[in-house]
Structure 1
Amino acid sequence: MTMGPLMIDLKGMTLDLEERELLRHPWVGGVVLFSRNYESPEQIAALIDSIRTLKEPRLLVAVDHEGGRVQRFREGFTSLPPVRFLGQLYDRNPPQARRLAAITGWLMAAELRAVGVDFSFAPVLDLDQGVSTVIGDRAFHSEPNAVIALARAYVRGMAWAGMAAVGKHFPGHGSVAADSHVALPVDERPWQQIRERDFLPFERLVGIGLPAIMPAHVRYASVDPLPAGFSRFWLEEVLRGQLGFQGAIISDDLGMAGAAGVGGVSERVRTALSAGCNMALVCNDPDGYAHLLAELEVDRPPGPSAHLLRLYGRYPLSRPQLPRSSAWQKAVQAVTAYAKF
């Protein structure tokens, strides 16, 4: 059996029979978890164990766990500050900020790996231009070089904990006001302006081997009529061709309003995959997944993507071991200290 190119979510804290059958479908290759799936570290670890037993190769398990506004697991996990705090510290003390970025990336990843999560959709590589409220303090900084420095350290910390990073939202979501969850943002700037600023963190992180990227549900009107996640120009010509990106491309949630212009959900999945995505993410429609899979069944799933194999988590500390480790204790102390400012 090969890994399917579709990632879906779950209704609750345990798997029901219908979900078990859905997850065994050849098109499904991953599960994304939300707060509604979480009660405690022990419960989420048991849920992930039950997901892993369903098929081989086992399903990838992911979560959005950036810190600040976007942290799906709370009780029993360290409360992570928004990464903007690191950007503010960078303005005063760049070496200290880079060190703490690596520690924060490690702590986030280590705690998730200890319960079995393979990867988090992090870090955000967008520039905060003071325009996008949906990005805002999820971005490290407004300046490309600061984002590059902090994101490199954060990704390195994640790697120390055995987790692959997913940079988002290519080629940059920070310069549009609309929220792609509820509308299709349109960036009217010329390519050269995007190239000189928003694009730079993605270019530099790709250059050091970034394992995965999530494209934006943003239409860059001067460049291509399609949003980046559905555009062969952005994904194949620019990301794969010009930048030489060798990692996985995972769509943003195809249930979002920013994806609606392409058609129904099955058409969005097909378009994203044909544009160059290795995995299509569809969330928050549990009652619609059976219908979606029935529509997709007319097509043979794309062949296995070696890019996705890099996203399996590695060498976790067990949940009982983690609090006893001096690395975890020092990391919690360091993150808790700078989160107060």
Structure 2
Amino acid sequence: MGRKRKGRAISGWLLVDKPAGVTSTSVVNKVRWALQAQKAGHAGTLDPAATGLLAVALGEATKTVPYITDALKCYRFRVRLGQSTTTDDAEGTVLDSSDLRPSDDEIAAALGAFRGDIAQVPPQFSAVKVEGERAYDIARAGEEMDLAARALWVEKLDMLARPDPDHVDLEMVCGKGGYVRSIARDLGAALGCLGHVAWLRREWSGPFDASEGLSMEQIDAMAHSPELDSHIRPLELGLADLPELPATPEGAARLRNGNPGMVLASGVDYGAEAWASLDGHAVAVGRYKAGELHPSRVFVVS
């Protein structure tokens, strides 16, 4: 018999407005402690220096994390023009500098090359794996790597402000796997002036918004209390981008056992990914085929 997991079997989402200077993992650990939760994870790492939305999944909601990481995300960030750094942000050592400062019109024109389907090389200091090792571990050892370019969808990249000649504030909406630091680095290179991220904030991701997130101080103050529980969002929010198919009671019972179950479909294509619900609660995620959902993930919520 397996050992019983310690903590409370709670499921759902807690939204956190992450401060600068802490890792995403430390935020998850704090939330898990504050809620005494058995299981917790997050939907998309933020660098320690970054702020903004970190969506923490609890219990069965961890099964919906891939759908949030695949969703569009919005970042606001400031690019420091005239300097490149080892980490492509303000945490790194300055590698090179330039006295050239592009005009607002030149910046706006250069942004067009970073919209749509683009190829992006991750920063040397990133979590990308290279022959089983994290790139940041290799970079810290002083070694340089040829990292492969990765495809990225950039739906929006606009200039918000130009506080001074050395800085430009941008907003980007992009898909999965985007590195804002790479955008700053490559924009600086395209403009001929170099660049790196001065600060970065994630405003929203999928259905979740940073404005609804709790601060670390609020989490501390409400720890181990029903008040913090009241901020937990339903796990079903993690499935917002998938069609919902109501299951029959018999179908839900079969789905909970990992078998195909009958659902009521309307306008869902054969083979499409969807989630089945009973009385509004998620039962399973899977593929719709001829009146049944064939489950790939089953939710076990008491």
TM range (shorter): under 0.3
Structure ranking higher in strand proportion: 2
Larger Rg: 2
Structure ranking higher in helix proportion: 1
- Scaled by the length of structure 2, the TM-score of the pair is 0.26
- Scaled by the length of structure 1, the TM-score of the pair is 0.24
Which one scores higher on RCO, CA 8 angstroms, separation ≥ 6? 2
